[in-house]
Amino acid sequence: MEIPPKSPDGSEKSPQSKELLTSNTASTLCISSRSESVWTSASRSKWDIYHKPVIVVSVGAAVFLFGMVITSLSCIQTKNKNVYKMCGPAFLSLGLMLLVCGLVWIPIIRKKQKQRQKSQFLQSLKSFFFNR
């Protein structure tokens, strides 16, 4: 029979209670970080909002163009033709995937911004009526 180890403060706790304690703390931290963003309504610039999708779109376009160049080299060059034929389409598809993901990400961010503005407006109305 195995005896569970005692904690440094002398109290005995089962491993299940330790897991529950840490998971409860993690969920509390997650909840507080979510509610924090609702209360801090500092205005952000367009770059702060859209910088990630813009970077993804620009990297995707660059990789896509690089794939086009390598694919066209497979038609022109006779040396290393097999390497160009393998790498060109791979860069084309990777660049296209990044480009499309970034372009889809922008309307999603716009929709979230509109929802956030609505929720802040409703929050201010609620606080106005309930604090009277």
User: What is the per-residue pLDDT across 15-30, written as a single tens digit (0 to 9) for each?
Assistant: 555 555 555 555 444 4
Residue predicted with more confidence, 32 or 4 = 4
Structure tokens of 7? 């904690």
- Note whether 60 and 98 are within 8 A (CB): yes
- Note whether 61 and 99 are within 8 A (CB): yes
- Looking at residues 33-59, what average pLDDT do you find? 75
pTM above 0.85, yes or no: no
Residue predicted with more confidence, 77 or 115 = 115
Average pLDDT, the chain: 77
Structure tokens of 56? 């993804």
Q: Is the pLDDT of residue 44 over 90?
A: no
76 Cα distance to chain centroid: 40
Structure tokens of 46? 């367009």
- Looking at residues 58-64, what average pLDDT do you find? 97
- Note whether 71 and 84 are within 8 A (CB): yes
